[in-house]
Amino acid sequence: MPDVEPSAGAEPDPAASGPTSLTLPAVPLRDNVVFPSQLAPLAAGRPRSVAALEAAVNGDGRVVLAIQRDAERDDASIEDVHAIAVIAHVGAFRRLPGGGAHALVEGKERVRIDAFDASGDAWIATVTPLPPDPVEGTEVDALFGSVRSLFAEYVNAGAQVGADTAVAMARASQPELIADIASTCPDFGFDDRVALLQETDTLLRLRKLIPLLAREVEVAQLRSKIHEDVQKTINNSQREHILREQLRAIRKELSELDDAGEDDEDLSARVEKAGMPDNVKQRVLKEVHRLEQIPSASPEMGMVRTWVDWLLDLPWIDPPAETLDIERAAAILDEDHYGLTKVKDRVLEWLAVRDRIRVKGIAEEAAAETATADAEAGAAVEAARVAAESAHESSSETANSRADTASESAPAQSEPVDPGEPENAETNAPHVASQEAGGGAGGSADLPPRAAQDVPRTPSDGESDGAAERRGVPAPTGPGPDLFMPGC
C-alpha cells in the first residue's frame, strides 16, 4: 500500500525491530476521540488539517488521528498530542466554501506516535502500529460478557446509540473489539474516552468499562423515567383537551336536536364575570356543574337553568356613574326629531328633574358624612375630657393616700404643755398636793384626772387666776384643764 512522501528527516529506520513504522498525514483532534472500528464524521477547520485530509484522500486514504492535549492551541507538536493515536480511513471528503472540510472516517488500529512534523503545509506523523495482544481465560470471558450485557441495557434504556453500533456489539466475539465498541458510548466524558484510547491492555480496558457503563445505564434509566413522566403529563393534558372538545361538540349537537339554539357563552365563564360574592358564586357554580349532569328531558333542567339565568341577570356590580348633559340632550333631540316641541320640553324637564335629584342626593350624602365626622370628632373630644378628669381624680386620690400613709408612719407627738409648768416632779409636787387637797383649779377631788377635761373652767370655781399667779402657778391660757395635766 503506497504511503505519502515523508518530509525530510522523517524516514523510518529499516533496522528497527518489531512492527514497521509508517509515515502518514496527521490530524490533531481538539475535542473528539475516534476508536478502532468506529465510523465517525470529522470537521476540519485549520488549513493543515484540511491539507492532511486532502493528502490522505489523494494517497492510500489513511490518516493518523491524534488527540490534542490542549484544545485551545492551533499549532501542535509531538509534546502537544497524546502518545497513542488511531489510524483511520477517509471514506468521504468534501471541501467547504469557507476553507474548512468535512470527512467521514473509520478507525482501524491503534498506533504509537514516534515523530510529529509540523514544518510543511500538512502535519506528518511517524507511527508504529500496536496490534492487540490475544487474551484468554474465564476472567476475560466474564468481563466482556458483563460489558456486552451492560451495553445492551444502556441501549434499551434509550441511549442515543446507532442501530449499526448495537448490531456490531451483538455480533462481536473478540474481547478487544467489544472493548472498542463499548468505548464509543456517546455519554462518556472526553477524559474517560481519552483514557480508554490510551490503554492498550484489553483486560484493563474491560475493567474500566464496567463501572463507566453501569453509571451510564443508571443515568439513562433515570432519564428515560423522567421522559416517560413528562410524556404522561403531556398526554393527560392532551387527552383532557380532546375530551372537552368532544364534549362541547356533543352538547352542541344535542342542543340543535332539542331546538334549544346554540349557547355561545359558557355558563361558568358568565358566572365568573358576573361579580358575585364568593359564597353566591360557589353556590351558582355548583348548580352549573350539576346542570351539566342533568338529562335534558328532566323537568329539573328548566328550573335550574331559570334560576341560574335569573341570578346572572341581577346587577351584582354597581352601575357606572350617570352623566346628564341637558344641552347635549337638547341638541340630539333637535337633530333627530323635527318639531315635537312639547314632547322635547317634557323630556328635557324630566332629565333636569332627575339631574337635580341626583345632585341633591350627592349633597345630602356629603352633609351626612360631614355630620357623622363631626359627631365622631365630638365624641372623641368628650372621651378625651372624661379621661383627663378621671386621670386628675385618680392622681388626687393617690396624693391623698400617700399623705395619709406618711402621717400614720410619723411618730406620735405629746400634747402641748404650758411653758410655765415645772419640768420635774419635785417642783411640781406642791401644786399636785394642793390639787389633791382642794380638788384642783376648778376640778373635783372625786373625779379621775382625765375626767376633769370635760368640765369647763370658770372664774368662780376655786381660786382666781390672780391667786394662782401669786402662788407661783401661771394662769391658764386655754379654755380647758388639759394644759395643766402633764403627762397626758
**Strands 22-29 and 62-67: what pairing?**
parallel
pLDDT at residue 86 in the model: 92
* Alpha carbon distances (Å) from 244 to 210, 423, 473: 51, 122, 129
Q: How far apart are CA 106 and CA 188, in angstroms?
A: 19
The pLDDT-based confidence of 272 (bands split at 50, 70, 90) is: confident
Nearest Cα to Cα of residue 61 among 21, 105, 94, 99:
105
Q: How many residues does the chain have?
A: 488
pLDDT at 186 over 80: yes
pTM for this one? 0.45
Tell the CATH topology of 132-261: Methane Monooxygenase Hydroxylase; Chain G, domain 1 (1.20.58)
pLDDT at residue 429 in the model: 42
pLDDT at residue 409 in the model: 61
Q: How far apart are CA 50 and CA 99, in angstroms?
A: 8
Q: What is the mean pLDDT of residues 251-271?
A: 63
Residue written as cell 472540510? 101
Q: What is the mean pLDDT of residues 163-185?
A: 86
Residues 6+ apart with CB under 8 A from 338: none
The pLDDT-based confidence of 157 (bands split at 50, 70, 90) is: confident
Task: Report the percent of the chain where pLDDT is more than 70.
Answer: 76
Residue 76 near residue 28 (C-beta atoms within 8 A): yes
Least confident of 65-74, 376-385, 409-418: 409-418
Q: What is the mean pLDDT of residues 408-421?
A: 50
Say which CATH architecture domain 1-130 belongs to. Answer: Roll (2.30)
Least confident of 8-17, 75-84, 349-358, 360-369: 8-17
pLDDT, averaged across the chain: 75
Q: What is the pLDDT of residues 322-343, one digit of tens each?
A: 677 778 878 888 888 887 888 8
Which position has the higher pLDDT, 92 or 414? Answer: 92
pLDDT at 168 over 70: yes
pLDDT at residue 87 in the model: 92
pLDDT at 141 over 60: yes
pLDDT at 294 over 60: yes
pLDDT at residue 286 in the model: 87
Least confident of 36-50, 149-163, 247-261: 247-261
Q: What is the pLDDT of residues 112-132, one digit of tens each?
A: 998 888 888 888 889 999 888
pLDDT at residue 256 in the model: 60
